[in-house]
Structure 1
Amino acid sequence: MASNFHGKEHTFVDRKLCEGLEHLRLADKCLKTSFFKWKPDVDGACEEYQQAATSFKNAKAYDEAKETLIKLANLQKENSPFHAAKSYEQAGLILKEAKQYEEAVYLMEKAALLFQEDGTPDSASLTLEKAAKMVELDFPEKASQLYIKACEVAEIEDKPGKCAEYIGKAARLMTRLRRYDDAAEYFKKEVNYHLEAENYGLLNKVVLGLVLVHLHREDYVAAELVFKSSLSYPDFGASEEAAAVENLLSAYDEGDEEAARQTLSLPLIKYMDNAFARMARDLVIPGGVSTSKSDVKNTGPADEEDEFPDGLL
């Protein structure tokens, strides 16, 4: 029974491969000119290439599907950058299935550029977001770069809410890499975008996260400055986040481990998104706080091996 199933599977794959090759042959025929046919049939070729790519994808012949879609995109570029971009995006998503992430991201970035050229920035930022999600787990640094690009596109379109979303994702990836200086920069930008978009509920949580980042940087002064400047934001001063930050800074400044842990274990913090909860869990409370980073002794355990080695895209 099993051998019969595998036999049918091979028959299906072979049939789809043959269909794909036939569509390629017909596409080439559409593009040829002759004494009686002066102009190539570009529309006909595009249709054949699209069908060929679908057949190759169904046969899981991912490289052939990708190459066909690139040929299709090259034909579409002149008359329709939007459709060319869709073809590059489709090629990238096919390579994702094949786990060929580096080339997949390259094609998605190419698609995003064409979407921008076509005047459809929303499609550009969404494509960059898809590419970022594709590599978040294995290549967080590259994913962060893609989110920043998506933020830049959204900023051109004056969409602070989307900018906050994208730059915030980049910031959280930086905390996973323990790149706290970069995380601080991105979280500060996220705060500003939330202010612009008047997303005050989300803003309060990011302020708390930014304070945690500065404490991980062993920069109490920066953390305190964030807190004090945030008191001028609408709704922050009376929020649960403000009370938690004030208590945490007080405990940290006094070297009161128990009081700090009580604050850090509050449901407000414990059930925040993973990046903030992780920072709260791993925060070291020094016995005494100095404003000079070099004077602060890390009393916590030795750093564990980075869960994201440097072999990033």
Structure 2
Amino acid sequence: MSGLLIAVTNGNGEIIQSQPYQEFVNGPRNLEILNVYLGSKLLSILVDDLNIISFNDNKFVLKTILENSNITTMKLLGKVAEAVVVRRCRENLENNLTWLSIARKKSARVKTATKYIAYGTGLVDTQKKYPQKYNYSDPQRDIIWIDNQGKLALMKGSTTTSGLVAGIQIKVSRNGGAYILDDLIQNRYEVPLVYFDICNDFDNIANKLYKKGKGQIVGYDFVQAKAIDYDAYSEVAYYEDLVRAIVTGKLTIEDLAYRNEYPVKSAIMSAAFSTVNLTNLIV
């Protein structure tokens, strides 16, 4: 029986892992294939953007509070999503224009999008450049926009000197009804909430908001990530299996580094890698 396959080959061109394409796209995904596909990018986010990897007792450790594995996975995935959106805004002006327009609740001009740079309030480079804006657990804004003079982009209705800071709050979940619905009904966010609905429940939550008389916020204060930037949504969705595997111990940081020959930027990570015999690691 013929079919399209996703495969990983060794140095001799021999297939060592394979999975039907549709199964890989829809899940569950082969971790080995997924690791080769996106492991290096995920490790870069964990190390360079989030700085949540430490080296203790000759092994790499995830610096996060481990709760229920699903809760921990989704919280961490939310920070990963923050890094993904910021990176995509910086790499592409059209992406920046789109996300900034959502954040300001008004269509941004190209001139404005060129002027303002996206910063994640929980990301390392924000901590270095704008430490006063850094807040890893900011309850309102995961991403803000700052110009080269340090001025923040403001929301619609603000003046040039005062008003609400533009931004977006990012949430990633497989059960948004339990996780974000009440917050949306109670108007707990000043800025748009962008939802990465990993199990496609955005419409279900939107219908509940309409029944509660809050339908006007759909697409305005409550926005579906895949409708804004499908590539960002897809990347985050693919990361889920890798993040969950790390949280549950099925995959280690060394696995990511060894398989992908990770180019170390951090001085601490570089020193740690020099003490690890990666050739003896088994993925």
Q: TM-score range by the shorter chain?
A: under 0.3
Structure exhibiting the larger radius of gyration computed from Cα positions: 1
What's the TM-score, normalizing by structure 1? 0.26
Flag the structure with more relative contact order, 1 or 2, with Cα contacts below 8 A and sequence separation at least 6: 2
- Greater strand fraction, Structure 1 or Structure 2: 2
- Greater helix fraction, Structure 1 or Structure 2: 1
What's the TM-score, normalizing by structure 2? 0.28
